[in-house]
Every structure is written in C-alpha cells, then in structure tokens.
C-alpha cells in the first residue's frame, strides 16, 4: 500500500495547483455551494442525507451514481446489475464518471447557476477511494485526473465541489454495519473483505491531501453526527 500512496502522490501532484486556482475563483459571485457527502458503505451516510433533506428543503439533493433519469440508468447498470461485478475496475471507473458527467450537465450546474446549493450523496471522492485505492489500481490515476479536469472544467463554466464531508469510522465497524443493515439491498459492492474497506478508508484520507475534505467521526449516534455536519456547514458559511 505504501508504494501505491507514493505513486498516487506523484500522479496527483497537479491537484494542489488546481485547488489553489479554485480558491482564487471563489468570491466571484459564487454564492451557491456544491458539497459532496461521502464515506465507506455502512458509514451511516444514508441516514445523514435523510436528516439533511428534512431540515433543508431549499437545497437540491442528488446522488452518485444517479440524479437524472439517464444517470439513474447508469446506476442500475453499474450498481444493481450483477454483471458489473464481473467487469473491470477501469470499466467501473468509466461508468461512474459517465454518470457524473451527465449529472453535472443536467442537474448540478443548472441548480448552481440558479443560485441553489447542491448536496450530493457521493462524488469523485468515491471513485478515487473505491476504484483506485480499494481496487489497488494506481495506474488509473492519470486517467482519473484527466476525467476530473474535463468534468469539472472551470474554463467551460463547470465547477468542482467546494467541500467534501466524509463520514469516517473504523473499517471493521463500517463493514459490520453494512452487512447487518436489513434495509439495504445487497449489491456486489457489499461483498468486499475488510482489506478493501481499509483501503477505501485510507483512500479518503489520501484524497483529503489534495482537495478540501472535512472528516466527521461517524462512530457516534446519528444525532451527534448530524450536529457535527450542521456545525461544519455553519462554520464554512454554507448555511446560516
């Protein structure tokens, strides 16, 4: 894993520059915010998204993969079709980016341009943590970076997320929760071993080295976690 980290650090060295440039762009009337919520399966993210939806009716909520009718079709393919489990990490990476491109074009950008905040359940942080780190596919990093630049291209009027909020907890707790969750229809994504979960958790930590991430301790009650999220949103001046 140490070799993978060093390799990814080298490949993503351009990311810091992107972030600096992005910070300079803030303040040009960009009042609406694009926030991604992410975490391992079993992190309690779904419960938190529901609490936020109830509290914040003015926010546009979306999810990845999905959000628009076409992106939901891609979701059915990549998440629910068991054949996806037999496909390659590269193919999955492409499908997740395809769904993201669609959602950016037809949902996220129109909402942001209309002055609304967009809260997304998962984002490119998942692609990095799951497909690159979980699947140990460091050689896909250049490709990830190229797709990221295209899909979030500021010079064509797009934006990248302002903030990622990641629900963090020990890998074994997350995996146990995901397996025990009776309300969840099990997909090929749920059958992963503990090593995979640990790599995904490390992946989110690595992602935070390059893009703006706030971690929330998710090994607490839903109310405590929710209060922490609301505090972050207030501190970052995303909500009053």
Please report how close the Cβ of residue 2 comes to ligand TYD at its closest, in angstroms.
23
Return the sign of the alpha-carbon dihedral for residues 85, 219, 124, 13: negative
> Residue 88 or 235: which CB sits closer to ligand TYD?
88
- In terms of CB distance, is 115 or 226 closer to ligand TYD? 226
In sign, the C-alpha dihedral spanning 72, 116, 127, 201 is negative
Q: 94 vs 238, which CB is nearer to ligand TYD?
A: 94
Structure tokens at 160: 């990248």
Q: Closest separation between CB of residue 54 and ligand TYD, Å?
A: 17
Task: Provide the minimum distance between the beta carbon of 137 and ligand TYD in the complex, in angstroms, as a whole number.
Answer: 12
If you search the block for the tokens 């489990």, which residue do you land on? 85
Q: How far is the CB of 70 from ligand TYD (least distance, A)?
A: 15
Retrieve residue 98's tokens.
């395809």
Minimum distance, C-beta of residue 31 to ligand TYD, in the bound complex (Å)? 26
- Applying CB under 6 A, the residues found at the interface with ligand TYD are 41, 45-46, 64-65, 79, 96, 121-122, 126-127, 130-131, 189
Pairwise CA distance, residues 47 & 56, whole Å = 14
Q: Which is nearer to ligand TYD, 122 or 201 (CB)?
A: 122
E strand map for the chain? 34-39, 60-63, 118-121, 163-168, 213-217
In terms of CB distance, is 115 or 222 closer to ligand TYD?
A: 222
Cα–Cα separations (whole angstroms), residue 210 to 24, 130, 132, 143, 213: 16, 17, 15, 16, 9
Q: Both tokens of residue 69? A: 């009718």
Q: Which is nearer to ligand TYD, 46 or 138 (CB)?
A: 46
Task: Pick the closest to residue 196 from 59, 41, 92 (CA basis).
Answer: 41
* CB 27, min distance to ligand TYD, A: 29
Residue 138's CB is within 10 A of a number of other CB atoms, namely 18
Q: Smallest distance, Å, CB 115 to ligand TYD?
A: 26
Cβ distance to ligand TYD smaller for residue 45 or 234: 45
User: Within 10 A of 27 (CB to CB), how many other CB atoms are there?
Assistant: 8
């Amino acid at each position: 894993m140490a070799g993978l980290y060093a390799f990814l650090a080298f490949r993503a060295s351009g990311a810091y520059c992107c972030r600096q440039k992005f910070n300079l762009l803030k303040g040009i009337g960009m009042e609406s915010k694009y926030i991604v919520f992410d975490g391992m399966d079993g992190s309690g993210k779904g419960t938190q998204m529901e609490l936020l939806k109830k509290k914040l009716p003015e926010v546009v909520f979306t999810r990845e993969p999905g959000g628009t009718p076409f992106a939901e079709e891609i979701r059915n393919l990549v998440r629910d079709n068991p054949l996806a489990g037999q496909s390659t990490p590269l193919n999955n990476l492409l499908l997740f980016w395809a769904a993201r491109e669609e959602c950016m074009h037809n949902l996220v950008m129109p909402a942001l341009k209309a002055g609304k905040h967009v809260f997304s359940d998962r984002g490119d942080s998942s692609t990095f943590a799951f497909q690159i780190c979980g699947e140990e596919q460091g050689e896909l990093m250049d490709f990830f970076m190229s797709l990221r630049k295209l899909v979030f291209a500021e010079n064509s009027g797009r934006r990248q997320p302002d903030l990622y909020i990641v629900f963090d907890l020990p890998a074994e707790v997350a995996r146990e929760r995901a397996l025990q969750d009776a309300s969840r229809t099990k997909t090929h994504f749920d059958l992963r071993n503990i090593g995979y979960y640990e790599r995904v958790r490390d992946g989110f930590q690595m992602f935070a080295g390059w893009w703006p991430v706030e971690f929330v301790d998710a090994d607490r009650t839903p109310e405590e976690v929710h209060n922490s999220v609301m505090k972050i949103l207030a501190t970052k001046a995303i909500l009053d």
